[in-house]
């Protein structure tokens, strides 16, 4: 059946609400880290909260991408619409934020760095430390979309997603353990090739945090959770979901140093993922928790979450300039960022998506009556 004939998927607004949790977790983490930089417990908690937010982003991304596009990429037009929709979603605001930062750092703006940022591939090659460093996640997300287009035919072959998911988790944990044990060897082999001076992170930090080669395993969790949800089983109950939430909260507030341990190195990208799979599956169902995250306020904050993430520095700068780097500055930051993100959503994100898909959608091959794919 061709793409245009497929019925639209049931909307899952609670997942948009969860996206708000992810965005504001990262924002709050950055604020806490800046405000309480001398407090080691607060700093550690902030780092783990940011790790949680990013992991939730990537798991949700995998779920939503497969849920909305998994059976729509059979034709060249379907594939074109997929990339057009995702480009229109990511690139306009990303480009504005990066362009605003370039004049401040022209002294390190080599041709290869500019090409990497223009193509959103900076995290692929460890060049993410130049213009707006936190845009590394946008680059990583772009990698996921390319990977999804390649593996989607294989995903269609999965008939028992729950069994595959369990095997996937076991294999991934074993793989991470092997990577950790081979740290010295991997660093020696690849670090020289991925060192671009001030543009690069340390190799091990890049590999275990920024690199899409590692972060794609979270995206894979989301893909498989989508398959499980569409299969209709298993049904996740509330007690299991509460345990998953306790696991995440416990890690966020755990004390002590985890530096150079297996847990510490992979806390940033997979420790939360299995628990998040349980939470996402539960929130997809009709229940009281889903109703909370599907409330209009949560959904709206989820809609503006991309602007919240990319424009956080402007809200924080405005708040700190008014009342200083205090707890009140932190609260004012949350307010300012939300206001700025709302304006950006309506004045930049929506118009840019409309124009890009309207102009370039006509250039794609195939029938022109197909609605533009979007998430």
Identify the pLDDT of residue 124. 96
pLDDT in tens, 121-156: 999 999 999 899 999 999 999 999 999 999 998 988
Q: Are 42 and 66 in contact (CB under 8 A)?
A: no
Q: CA-CA distance, 284 to 71, in Å (whole number)?
A: 19
- In angstroms, the CA 71 to CA 18 distance is 24
Q: What is the pLDDT of residues 225-241, one digit of tens each?
A: 999 999 887 788 899 99
CB atoms within 10 A of CB 181: 11
Longest alpha-carbon distance in the chain: 60
Q: How far apart are CA 344 and CA 348, in angstroms?
A: 5
Q: Which is more confidently placed, 361 or 223?
A: 223
User: Which pLDDT belongs to residue 104?
Assistant: 82
Q: Is the pLDDT reported for residue 268 higher than 80?
A: no
pTM, entire model: 0.91
Domain segments of the chain: what residues? 12-361
Residue 235: burial class (beta carbons within 10 Å; 0-12, 13-18, 19+): exposed
Which backbone phi and psi does 236 adopt, to 5 degrees?
Answer: -90, 130
Q: How far, in Å, are 12, 238, 244, 290 from residue 281 at the CA level?
A: 11, 11, 11, 10
Instruction: Give the Cα separation of 229 and 223 in Å (integer).
Output: 10
Rounded CA separation 333/316 (Å): 5
């Amino acid at each position: 059946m061709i793409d245009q004939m497929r019925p639209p998927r049931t909307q899952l607004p609670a997942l948009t609400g969860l996206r708000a949790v992810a965005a504001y977790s990262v924002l709050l983490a950055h604020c806490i880290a800046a405000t309480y930089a001398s407090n080691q417990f607060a700093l550690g908690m902030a780092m783990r909260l940011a790790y949680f937010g990013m992991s939730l982003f990537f798991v949700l991304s995998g779920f939503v991408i497969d849920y909305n596009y998994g059976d729509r990429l059979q034709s060249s037009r379907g594939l074109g619409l997929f990339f057009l929709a995702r480009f229109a979603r990511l690139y306009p605001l990303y480009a504005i934020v990066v362009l605003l930062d370039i004049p401040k750092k022209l002294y390190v703006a080599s041709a290869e760095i500019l090409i990497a940022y223009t193509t959103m591939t900076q995290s692929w090659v460890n060049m993410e430390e130049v213009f707006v460093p936190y845009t590394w996640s946008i680059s990583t997300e772009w990698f996921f979309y390319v990977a999804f287009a390649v593996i989607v035919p294989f995903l269609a072959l999965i008939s028992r997603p729950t069994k595959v998911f369990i095997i996937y988790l076991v294999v991934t944990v074993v793989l991470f353990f092997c990577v950790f044990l081979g740290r010295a060897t991997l660093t020696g082999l690849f670090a020289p090739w991925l060192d671009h001076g001030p543009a690069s992170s340390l190799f091990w930090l890049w590999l275990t945090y920024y690199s899409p080669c590692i972060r794609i395993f979270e995206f894979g969790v989301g893909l498989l959770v989508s398959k499980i949800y569409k299969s209709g089983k298993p049904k996740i109950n509330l007690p299991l979901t509460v345990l998953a939430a306790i696991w995440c909260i416990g890690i966020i507030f755990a004390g002590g140093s985890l530096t150079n341990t297996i847990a510490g190195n992979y806390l940033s990208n997979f420790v939360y993922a299995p628990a998040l799979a349980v939470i996402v599956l539960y929130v997809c169902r009709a229940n009281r928790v889903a109703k909370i995250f599907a409330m209009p306020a949560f959904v709206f904050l989820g809609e503006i979450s991309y602007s919240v993430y990319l424009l956080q520095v402007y809200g924080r700068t405005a708040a700190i300039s008014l009342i200083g780097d205090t707890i009140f500055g932190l609260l004012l930051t949350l307010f300012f960022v939300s206001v700025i993100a709302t304006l950006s959503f309506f004045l930049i994100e929506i118009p840019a998506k409309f124009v890009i898909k309207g102009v370039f959608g006509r250039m794609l091959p195939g029938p022109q009556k197909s609605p533009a794919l979007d998430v």
